[in-house]
């Protein structure tokens, strides 16, 4: 289990930086590990790619911009497994908003607002 | 819920011993599970705090990385298409290791590098330094994100484990133990009642025997008074004993 490496997938609008960080990969079937989301990308496309990433077993983490996560919130919330881990990251225009993070919402009653400062 | 019955078992001394042992077992099990739940909750809170800290940190790191991206774009022009075209193998991959907390295995991500940087030649024309800085920033961001993902998965797994353990504790405390206690009480009452029944039965038989005996005695008296009864010869009551003479 420790020998098999898993990949990091990205769904977002500034994928370039992460690719330069070295996480991009194209496997044999020419399926890529990222999705560049622009203004004209439909929600269905995003959902489909997300579901595909979930079903692939070589992906360990999925990074998704928070405003995109908002659009497919229901699919995100339906994902209960621990792997792959879904991580919401802020984008350039939308800074991080802790109140919308689906993971933190599960533990909503457990921490006080001061901790979020 | 109609599960408020007792266990159907024939009441006997052995059944009582068995039930007592089972009650003890259930109580021990409940205490152990409670301890496990407490340990898990403690770890849960720690992880939650760490997650909040790391998320705040990540917000800043991402902002910095995005800023350096803008800088690099300004200097080197738009290289996004070249970058996307040049994707073939990932240098940074993650491994899933298992960590153990109070009997619950948590997945932990560990990142490792593999292979060479396929973007060595990007930015060779212009903006090379900004690009190098950008790569470093994003590499740092990726490391932080991997750590955050680890924390998040542990968080979710622990949440599930805590819910399950608490459910079990409550089940034992509010269903299993009362049921066993009721069974025990039932067995004890049944045994007591059986003893009382036995006692009563014995008493009744004794009384009956006494009555029969008294009746018999009375009859005997009556018959003796009427002279009908021949006392059998009593060897010990005779005073004179004629010698037996042989003719």
pLDDT in tens, B214-241: 999 999 899 888 876 666 767 776 666 6
Question: Considering CB atoms only, which of B65, B70, B93 is closest to A6?
Answer: B93
In this predicted structure, which of A31-40, B209-218, B219-228 has the lowest mean pLDDT? Answer: A31-40
The Cα of A51 is separated from the nearest Cα of chain B by a number of Å equal to 18
In this predicted structure, which of A20-24, A83-87, B106-110, B133-137 has the lowest mean pLDDT? Answer: A20-24
Residues in A closer than 8 angstroms to B146, CB to CB, are: 8, 61
- Across residues B57-66, what is the average pLDDT? 84
**What DSSP letter does each residue of A28-59 carry, written as one string?**
TT--BSEEE--TT--HHHHHHHHHHHHH-TTE
Q: Give the H/E segment covering residue A63.
A: strand A59-65
Residues in B closer than 8 angstroms to A104, CB to CB, are: 51-52, 55
pLDDT digits (tens, 9 = 90+) for B111-167: 887 776 666 666 666 677 777 888 888 888 888 888 888 888 888 888 889 999 999
Residues of B numbered 40-69 whose beta carbons fall under 8 angstroms of chain A's beta carbons: which are they? 45, 48-49, 51-52, 55-56, 58-59, 62-63, 65-66, 69
CB contact under 8 A, A32 and B87: yes
The per-residue pLDDT of chain B, averaged, comes to 85
B144-161 burial, b for 16+ CB within 10 Å, e for fewer? bbbbbbbbbbbbbbbbeb
CB contact under 8 A, B146 and A61: yes
- CA neighbor of B93 nearest in space, from A84, A103, A25: A25
CB contact under 8 A, A104 and B52: yes
CB contact under 8 A, B109 and A85: yes
- Across residues B10-38, what is the average pLDDT? 94
What ipTM score was computed for the predicted complex, to two decimals?
0.79
Confidence of residue A113 (pLDDT cuts 50, 70, 90): very low
CB contact under 8 A, B159 and A106: yes
- Across residues A4-32, what is the average pLDDT? 76
Q: What is the pLDDT of residue B205?
A: 96
Residue bearing the bigger pLDDT, A31 or B192: B192
- Across residues A91-107, what is the average pLDDT? 67
Q: What is the pTM assigned to this prediction?
A: 0.72
Q: What is the pLDDT of residue A38?
A: 80
Residue bearing the bigger pLDDT, B171 or A84: B171
Confidence of residue A96 (pLDDT cuts 50, 70, 90): low
Give me the CATH topology for the region B13-186. Helix Hairpins (1.10.287)
CB contact under 8 A, A19 and B153: no
Q: How far, in Å, CA of A3 to CA of B241, rounded?
A: 120
Confidence of residue B175 (pLDDT cuts 50, 70, 90): very high
In this predicted structure, which of A45-49, B14-18, B179-183 has the lowest mean pLDDT? Answer: A45-49
Residue bearing the bigger pLDDT, B111 or B169: B169
Q: Does A108 touch chain B (CB under 8 A)?
A: no
Residues of A numbered 21-40 whose beta carbons fall under 8 angstroms of chain B's beta carbons: which are they? 21-26, 32-34, 36
- CA neighbor of A43 nearest in space, from A17, A75, A80: A75
Confidence of residue A1 (pLDDT cuts 50, 70, 90): very low
Q: Does B135 touch chain A (CB under 8 A)?
A: yes
- Across residues B9-23, what is the average pLDDT? 93
In degrees to the nearest 10, what's the CA dihedral of B175, B179, B181, B186? Answer: 160
Q: What is the pLDDT of residue B84?
A: 73
- Across residues A11-37, what is the average pLDDT? 76
pLDDT digits (tens, 9 = 90+) for A47-61: 888 888 888 878 888
> What does the DSSP 8-state code read for residue A26?
B
Q: Is A3 exposed, middle or buried (0-12, 13-18, 19+ CB in 10 A)?
A: exposed
Q: What is the pLDDT of residue B58?
A: 85
Q: What is the pLDDT of residue B193?
A: 95
Residue bearing the bigger pLDDT, A109 or B90: B90
């Amino acid at each position: 289990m420790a020998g098999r490496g898993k990949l990091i997938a990205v769904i977002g609008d500034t994928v370039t930086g992460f690719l330069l960080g070295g996480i991009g990969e194209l496997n044999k079937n020419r399926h890529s590990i990222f999705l560049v989301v622009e203004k004209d990308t439909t929600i269905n496309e995003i959902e489909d790619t997300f579901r595909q990433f979930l079903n692939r077993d070589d992906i360990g983490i999925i990074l998704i911009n928070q405003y995109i996560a908002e659009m497919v919130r229901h699919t995100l919330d339906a994902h209960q497994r621990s792997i792959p881990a879904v991580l919401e990251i802020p984008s350039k225009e939308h800074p991080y908003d802790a109140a919308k993070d689906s993971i933190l919402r599960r533990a909503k009653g457990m921490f006080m607002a001061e901790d979020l400062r | 819920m109609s599960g408020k019955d007792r266990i159907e078992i024939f009441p006997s001394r052995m059944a009582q011993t068995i039930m007592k042992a089972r009650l003890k077992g259930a109580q021990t099990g409940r205490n152990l599970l409670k301890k496990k739940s407490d340990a898990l909750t403690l770890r849960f809170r720690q992880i939650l705090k760490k997650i909040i800290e790391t998320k705040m940190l990540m917000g800043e790191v991402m902002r910095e990385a995005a800023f350096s991206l803008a800088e690099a774009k300004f200097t080197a022009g738009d290289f996004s298409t070249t970058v996307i075209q040049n994707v073939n193998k990932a240098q940074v991959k993650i491994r899933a290791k298992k960590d153990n907390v109070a009997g619950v295995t948590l997945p932990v991500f560990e990142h490792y590098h593999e292979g060479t940087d396929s973007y060595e030649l990007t930015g060779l024309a212009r903006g090379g330094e900004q690009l190098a800085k950008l790569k470093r920033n994003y590499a740092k961001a990726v490391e932080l994100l991997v750590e955050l993902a680890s924390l998040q998965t542990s968080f979710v797994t622990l949440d599930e484990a805590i819910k399950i353990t608490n459910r079990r504790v409550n089940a034992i405390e509010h269903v299993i133990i009362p049921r066993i206690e009721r069974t025990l009480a039932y067995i004890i009452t049944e045994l007591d009642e059986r003893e009382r029944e036995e006692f009563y039965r014995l008493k009744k038989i004794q009384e009956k025997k006494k009555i029969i005996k008294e009746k018999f005695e009375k009859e005997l008296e009556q018959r003796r008074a009427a002279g009908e009864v021949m006392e059998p010869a009593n060897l010990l009551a005779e005073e004179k004993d004629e010698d037996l003479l042989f003719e």
